[in-house]
Structure 1
């Protein structure tokens, strides 16, 4: 059973939000340092107390949820990362869960699915 208990999921969610915030800080720093900033930053290799393994799991989770995007920028730079609009929203709301109103609206979901 891969589902996390509430205690675990809350802790994991906080770890995810920590990593999202790190990307936000890094993006803002890159933007202020470089007028030509293209919107992509290097992978966060450390975030607070998080172990490397946890960081890898968190990245996988955030990418799966569509909260961060990745792009391969060639050999010199390797993989680059950026927050998606949903990732920015998650930071603002301090939650990985979508806002209440978007949950359980079956018809809305189906329309988006066909539109995509």
Structure 2
């Protein structure tokens, strides 16, 4: 993945939540059924994500080749699957988001003493 795409992902933590949601669902379903093919019906609710944003997030994840889709028919709907790129990228994104959160927490505590001395 190029730096621009990683930067976009890190700038939009909701995208990471959606990708992780599909990845976790895939693992859980595979544990229950070893013959599970990895295709998961479109999720309309993901914890931490406003439902109205999901269509756009799905589109972005597809555009960055982190998620792929297939249409199974009129009655079945759309199914999604995390790509190999997505599976490889997810741990890196989570690591970077955690580091950014730690940096942000560290920056606030460091700024307080400076503000008092000024």
Q: Structures share a fold, TM > 0.5?
A: yes
Please list the CA deviations of residues 41-66 of structure 1 after superposition, one character each: whole Å capped at 9, or x if unmatched.
11121111311221111111101111
TM norm structure 1: 0.66
Partner residue in 1 for 2:57? 58
**Alpha-carbon distance between aligned partners in 2 of 1:67 and 1:22, rounded to the nearest angstrom:** 13
The unaligned stretches of length 5 or more in structure 1 are 1-5, 96-116
**Alpha-carbon distance between aligned partners in 1 of 2:30 and 2:9, rounded to the nearest angstrom:** 33
Q: Which has more helix, going by share of residues?
A: 2
Give the secondary-structure state (helix, strand or coil) at the position aligned to 1:35: coil
Give the secondary-structure state (helix, strand or coil) at the position aligned to 1:19: helix
Partner residue in 1 for 2:101? none
**Alpha-carbon distance between aligned partners in 1 of 2:75 and 2:29, rounded to the nearest angstrom:** 18
Runs (4 or more) in structure 1 with deviation over 6 Å come to none
TM norm structure 2: 0.65
CA contact (8 A) 2:10 2:93 kept: no
Partner residue in 1 for 2:43? 44
The structure-2 alpha-carbon separation of the partners of 1:9 and 1:75, relative to structure 1 and needing over 3 Å to count, comes to closer
**Alpha-carbon distance between aligned partners in 2 of 1:25 and 1:9, rounded to the nearest angstrom:** 18
Give the secondary-structure state (helix, strand or coil) at the position aligned to 2:74: helix
Please list the CA deviations of residues 90-113 of structure 1 after superposition, one character each: whole Å capped at 9, or x if unmatched.
202116xxxxxxxxxxxxxxxxxx
